[in-house]
Amino acid sequence: MKKKSVLVLAFTFLIIGCVYYFLIYSPYEQAEEFSGFPVPIHAEKIRETKDSTIYKWSRASEENGIPAGYRRAIKENGWEEVGREGALVLYKKGKQKIDLLSTTKQLSIIKGK
């Protein structure tokens, strides 16, 4: 009976770990052009310049910002929120800086200066 309980507990932790991975990490990929800053994989690139990229993303909102899962993925990838100005959030990782602007159904990622 004890062996069965341990097996069930181990299986439960495995399932929780898989769900956590798929909810937090798999919807985002690290963008090389932004020093590994996570970008939603379902976001459609609509404009790109040397220092920024604008994406069409249905989950972006000016009023509510970005979803909690995206904030968690950014944090889990080592980025720290260092400032906020309305819809613009400033992130830093080491010497790298990123400005993230979330407007209605649009996400702009800008290399910070």
Q: Mean pLDDT of all residues in the chain?
A: 88
Q: Two tokens at 42? A: 């379902």
pLDDT at position 5 is: 80
Over residues 43-52, the pLDDT tens digits come to 999 999 999 9
The closest of 80, 82, 74 to 107, measured between CA atoms, is 74
Within a 13 Å sphere around the CA of 113, how many CA atoms are in the beta-carbon half?
2
When pLDDT is cut at 50, 70 and 90, the band that residue 88 belongs to is very high
* pTM metric for this prediction: 0.78
| Cα 83 from Cα 46, distance rounded (Å) | 26
As a whole-number percent, the residues of the chain with pLDDT over 70 amount to 91
- What are the tens digits of pLDDT across the range 93-103? 999 999 999 99
Sign of CA dihedral 30, 48, 97, 87: negative
In tens, the pLDDT along 11-53 reads 777 777 656 666 555 688 999 999 999 999 999 999 999 999 9
